[in-house]
Structure 1
Amino acid sequence: MAFSFTPSFHKETTLDGLDQKRYLAIAIETARHLQWNIIYTGKNGFIAMVDGGFLTPIQEFRLIIKEDTALVISKNADGKLNDWAKLNQENVDTFIETLGQFQTSVTDDQVEEKLTELAPIFESAADDLLNAPLPSTKQNLLKFLGFFIPQKGYVITPLIIYINVAIFVIMVICGISFFEPSVKDLLSWGADYGPMTLNNQWWRLISNIFLHIGIFHIALNMYALIYIGVLLEPVLGKLKFASAYLLTGLVASLTSISYNGFSVSAGASGAIFGMYGVFLSLLTTNVIDKSVRKQLLISIALFVGFNLLYGTKSGIDNAAHVGGLLSGFAIGYLYYPSIIQPDKKGTELIVTMLIAVVTLGGSIVVYRMIPNVVGIYETKMKDFAIKESMALEVMSMPKDTTKELLLSELKDRGLYYWQENISLLNAVDSLPLPDVYKERDATLKQYCELRIKSYNLYYKQIEGKQPVSQSTIDSLNKEITDIIDGLNQSSKVKY
């Protein structure tokens, strides 16, 4: 058996004493009984499409009759490079078993009726395409490599793969981990992160879709891209495919920072989901051939549904997937007029440009509407630092400062600004910040409260009306110093 990169299974079986025509007639009825969609019938066999599973839902089934034997073949027909459920073997075994049952139950009259139906095919002078030899190992290898080589109707997909792989290789050469890059490294290479993206680093909305988190991440994404690229790019053409990829990737990134503003996001999956969305919408129209439309629709819908469900796991940016998918679905319908009129290049250009302008314009509006919570927070923290500095000025007043002035400054400046900072921290509690920020704010609040206690003790000590233990003041100052040391160690929030 020649090695094939497309999962397949085949088996030879005898005709059990039947002539080729009678065997073919019974075989066709077997396929119809199994509710397989026969798309070609020749003198020596037939080809059918099988909708048979969850992860590999579409297979191509072939029966090729040669003298007194029949070659039964089932292989993946939708571009998937796996057959985890062994559906191809199941197709072959089911067909052979069912055909055996039909052979014993079918009557001669029924067979003759089917032979009459097949007579035009047997009498035709046209060559039977099933007589073509099976592809060799070399041919299969070249077919597999063809997924990575630009060719007519399939140019942009390989180019996107080249860009993604090139960036990944350069990252590894520069010392980035081959398996699991650090968050710091991803951010330095252009990952999408709300506080940075919204801080005038808008280019991260695009750069992140060409960035991947290790070899397994890029391998899975490129596999999914090849699958949809093979099916969709010949339908859309270069301009619409490239435009849809970038636009849905942009929308996916915006959706990500809208819902997961504090997550670091990288990868092509948002844009790839966008292309699946485009294809899904086109599958609801007459753009795709009717004979395979239903099977592809089921296949793509199950694939997308499974991946969205899997995306609910922690660590996966499902918001980007949904944003890409929905924007792609809309773009697919908007592309429809230019797809059904391929000769009108002007229509294609105008439609593509209008979609790009509307998407970019909408993206700019959304980008500006998304609140930069960290930016707001940092502004508040600058105000906190100013008030803290003003409150601490009291403690550095000259030694010859009068008692009355010291008491006034402690009360009207020191205690006032520490109370102001507590109010400020209470206000920022309402911001949708990650837990690391909230924990820091709780520590800052504790710090302000300790300062207020120490200032009150200083006030009483200076006033002299009530005895104040110096050890109590020293104990408070020790707590304050410990908190300051802890804050200094974690002063830079880790993403």
Structure 2
Amino acid sequence: MAFEFSSKHIQEIPLDNLTSENFLIIAIEVARKLKWKIFSIREDGFIAYTKMSMRSFSEEVNIKILYKTVELKSECTGIQIIDWGKNKENISNFIYSFNEIKDSFTIEELDQEFEEIKPIFISKEEVILTHSSSSIKEKITGILSIFKPTHGYFITPIIIDLNIVVFLIMAIKGVDIFASDSDSLILWGANFRPLTLDGQWWRLFTSIFLHIGIFHLLMNTIALLYIGLLLEPRLGKTRLISSYILTGIVASATSLWWHDLTISAGASGAIFGLYGVFLALLTTNLIEKHLRSALLISIASFVGYNLILGLQGNIDNAAHIGGLLSGIVIGYSMVPSLKRNDDLRSKLNHIAFATVITIALCTLIFKSIIPYQFEKYGSLVERFVELESMALEMFEMPESTPAEDLLFEIKTRSLYYWNENKKIINEANLLYLPDPILDRNKKLLQYCELRIQSCQLIYKSIEESTDDYSSQITETNNQIEAILNELNIK
């Protein structure tokens, strides 16, 4: 099954009575007439780029002269699924203009001009080197090829495969494939401040390979595929994997700093890191000048859209921003080594430097996080549950229990334990805790007060041997039930 990442249109036309040399010269004149930017000319054709428009950022037009025919291909730069008919229009305009001017040249003029441009021809190998991402896209011809490592596209499919394998193992172990529950995510290594800061630092790494559901995995796979095809041919295997891991760790640390009790997982922080790297490179001369504007607008639009989307909630925008910013820093830091691409020492020095940057950023983030007093709070909660259990023992007494014993139980035990639990909650409120827990403490305090009110009403009802308090008891118990339901939801 065919699978395309960017829209394109291909058409073959006959050479007719023209030689390949004659056709090349006329085609160059047509490209100039259409105001296309000619990037590279070779003996069997050339590559040109159209201007940006409302329908497309830009298209790459590849003219390739074969034996008796010419292949005309127009393809969107980067990865653009819909071209709104622009690629077909480019080819149609070329053919129309070609037929319009081809008879205006003499054979002598065409031969002379061919000799004049021969010195600027580049080899086919140079075309491949300067259009590495395009050559990689040509190899992705089907769904299965997305997951298969190949030259220039090696690390990206491995990361994709690893994410999918982890997801499948989780599914086999019983984790919901549509919306993983919190306990499962924590068990499999999600990032969670109370645990990560408690010494489980490995969660900063493992969380970037976990996904909360199949839709989450699909969206991240597409985004990773997009940037991987553009970036890996330019960075190589080592730089790409180090950028992915390091920016992913910074993204996890940023999420940790921003969120109190959020369980975070997913590759999106690391993916935003790769986008940050590419944004940095697009502001340098390492990317071909004719591609910079189109790709910069395309990548910036993608990043901006996803950051705005993240404001809607349930999306860890803190991780996105942390990954993006760290990616930009790492991207600029690798510029010197990319200029000396064959220098192994320069490459290793960059990776070491990027690692130091990551450690420094994470250290700054962690130092700015004041640890919550979860351990002390946990002890208080355990004591609260213990006293609550004892306070509720009055409801376990047999119906035949004498009234005096019931009154004694309520007065000396139940009321005492509920008042003690109020003290525990007030003590807990003095601890440094996140707002959601403090809000929960308010509900627990209301719960204790309602329990005390219920006990007092039951005490009066027994002491006075009357049913006059029944409606009040029922109303109070309903309020207790409502608070318990709210606490369970939270």
SS at match of 2:334: helix
SS of the counterpart of 1:274? helix
Is the contact made by 1:384 and 1:424 (CA closer than 8 Å) also made in structure 2? no
- Provide the rounded CA distance (Å) in 2 between the counterparts of 1:189 and 1:94: 56
- The code of the aligned residue for 1:46 comes to F
1:249 aligned onto 2:252: no
> Per the alignment, in what secondary structure is the counterpart of residue 62 of structure 1?
strand
Q: Name structure 2 gaps, 5 residues minimum.
A: 126-137, 398-402
Alignment match, 2:203: 204
| Equivalent AA in structure 1 for residue 40 of structure 2 | Y
Distance 1:56 1:433, change over 3 A: farther
Tell me, yes or no, if structure 1 residue 432 matches structure 2 residue 441.
Answer: no
Q: Does residue 1:215 correspond to 2:214, yes or no? A: yes
| Residue 120, structure 1, aligned to residue 116, structure 2 | yes
TM-score, normalised to structure 1, is 0.72
The CA distance in 2 between the partners of 1:261 and 1:8, in whole Å, is 47
What code does the residue aligned with 1:28 have?
Answer: I
Deviations 1:293-323 (A, max 9, x none): 4443333223322333333333322221111
Q: Which amino acid aligns with 1:11?
A: Q
C-alpha separation between the residues in 1 aligned to 2:344 and 2:283?
24
Q: 2:237 — aligned with what?
A: 238
Q: Which amino acid aligns with 1:120?
A: E
Between the aligned partners of 1:491 and 1:4, the Cα distance in structure 2 is 49
- Displacement of 1:217 in angstroms is 2.9
Which residue does 1:133 correspond to in 2? Answer: none
Please list the CA deviations of residues 57-79 of structure 1 after superposition, one character each: whole Å capped at 9, or x if unmatched: 4532123467997643212453x
What pairs up with 1:367-406 in 2 under 5 angstroms? 367=366, 369-371=368-370, 375=374, 378=378, 381=381
1:411-452 residue CA offsets vs partner (Å, 9 max, x unmatched): 9x7797576467558768994228xx73x5454333333355
Describe the shift of the 1:370–1:419 C-alpha distance in structure 2 as closer, same or farther (beyond 3 A). same
Paired residue for 2:47? 47
Q: For residues 53 and 203 of structure 1, do their structure 2 counterparts lie closer, same or farther at Cα, with a shift above 3 Å needed?
A: farther
Task: Give a deviation string over 1:233-279, Cα, whole Å, max 9, x none.
Answer: 34434333222211111111222233344443322111011011112
CA distance 1:121–1:270, change in 2 (3 Å)? same
TM-score normalised by structure 2 residue count: 0.73
Aligned to 1:349: 348
Aligned to 1:297: 296
User: C-alpha root-mean-square deviation of aligned residues, in Å?
Assistant: 5.1
Aligned-residue offset at 1:167? 1.1
Q: Which residue of 2 aligns with 1:265?
A: 264
For structure 1, which segment, 445-454 or 208-217, has the greater mean C-alpha deviation from structure 2 after superposition? 445-454
Kindly indicate whether the alpha-carbon contact (under 8 Å) linking 2:49 and 2:60 is maintained by their aligned counterparts in 1: yes
User: What is the number of residues matched between the two proteins?
Assistant: 470
Equivalent-residue separation in structure 2 for 1:125 and 1:255 (angstroms): 50
- Partners of 2:413 and 2:143 lie apart in 1 by 80
CA 1:299–1:385 in 2, change beyond 3 Å: closer, same or farther? same
**Conservation of the 8 A alpha-carbon contact between 2:140 and 2:146:** no
How has the CA–CA distance of structure 1 residues 231 and 124 changed in structure 2, closer, same or farther, with 3 Å as cutoff?
closer
Corresponding letter in the other structure for 1:449: E
1:78-89 alignment to 2 at 5 Å?
Answer: 78=78, 80=79, 82-83=81-82, 85-89=84-88
User: Equivalents in 2 of 1:312, 1:33: separation in Å?
Assistant: 46
Find the counterpart in structure 2 of residue 91 from structure 1.
90
- 1:435-474 correspondence runs (5 A): 438=439, 440-451=440-451, 453=453, 471=467
- Partner secondary structure for residue 10 of structure 1: strand
Could you tell me how far apart the structure 1 residues matched to 2:40 and 2:461 are? 100
Whether the 8 Å contact between 1:388 and 1:417 is mirrored in structure 2 is: no
- Gap change, CA 1:389 and 1:150, over 3 Å in 2: closer
Counterpart position of 1:28: 28
Match for 2:243: what amino acid?
Answer: A
1:343, 1:151 → 2: CA distance? Answer: 20
Query: In 2, are the aligned partners of 1:373 and 1:433 still within 8 Å (CA)?
Result: no
User: Which sits farther off after the overlay, 324-333 or 353-362?
Assistant: 353-362
Give, as a single letter, the amino acid of the residue that structure 2 aligns with 1:329: I
Secondary structure of 2:311 counterpart: coil
Q: 1:69 to 1:191 in 2, by over 3 A?
A: same
State the alpha-carbon separation in 1 of the partners of residues 477 and 122 from structure 2. Answer: 93
Compare 13-22 and 339-348 and name the one that shifted more.
13-22
Deviation at 1:329, TM superposition (A): 0.5
Once the two structures are TM-superposed, the CA of residue 226 in structure 1 deviates from its matched residue by: 3.0
Give the partner amino acid of 1:327: S
Moved more, 200-209 or 337-346: 337-346
Tell me: CA distance 1:126–1:459, structure 2 relative to 1, closer, same or farther (3 Å). Answer: closer
Q: 1:218 to 1:98 in 2, by over 3 A?
A: farther
Moved more, 65-74 or 198-207: 65-74
Bigger mean CA offset, 67-76 vs 83-92: 67-76
Q: Which moved more, 1:252-261 or 1:64-73?
A: 64-73
**Structure-1 separation of matches of 2:69 and 2:478:** 86
Question: Contact (CA 8 Å) 2:387, 2:418: kept in 1 or not?
Answer: no
Structure 2 CA distance for partners of 1:252 and 1:150, relative to 1, 3 Å: same
State the distance in 1 between where 2:156 and 2:117 align: 40
Distance 1:251 1:124 in 2: 46
Summarize the Cα distance change of 1:171–1:54 in structure 2 as closer, same or farther, 3 Å threshold.
farther
1:270–1:325 CA contact under 8 A, matched in 2: yes
CA deviation profile, 1:365-420 (whole Å, cap 9, x unmatched): 53464355583765664575688799999999xx999x9xx999999x77975764
Shift of 1:326: 0.5
> How much does 1:26 deviate?
5.5
Aligned with 1:9: secondary structure? strand
Contact (CA 8 Å) 1:14, 1:69: kept in 2 or not? yes
One-letter identity of the residue aligned with 1:258: W
CA distance in 1, matches of 2:120, 2:352: 50
2:9 maps to which residue? 9
* Cα separation, 1, equivalents of 2:288 and 2:210: 35
Where do residues 261-340 of structure 1 align in structure 2 (5 Å cutoff)? 261-340=260-339
Give the unaligned 5+ runs of structure 1: 130-138
Kindly tell me: are residues 341 and 126 of structure 1, through their superposed partners in 2, closer, same or farther at Cα, counting changes over 3 Å? closer
Worse-superposed segment, 49-58 or 383-392: 383-392
- Contact 1:410 1:459 (C-alpha < 8 Å) held by counterparts: no
Amino acid aligned to 1:207: T
Q: Secondary structure at the match of 1:38?
A: strand
Partner of 1:163: 162
SS in 2 for 1:72: strand
Aligned 8 A contact 2:211 2:217 in 1:
yes
Q: In structure 2, how many angstroms separate the alpha carbons of the residues matched to 1:334 and 1:126?
A: 31
Moved more, 210-219 or 28-37: 28-37
Compared CA separation, residues 385 and 470, structure 1 to 2 (3 A): farther
The answer to whether the Cα contact below 8 Å between 1:210 and 1:267 also exists between their aligned partners in 2 is yes
Question: Which deviates more, 51-60 or 334-343?
Answer: 51-60
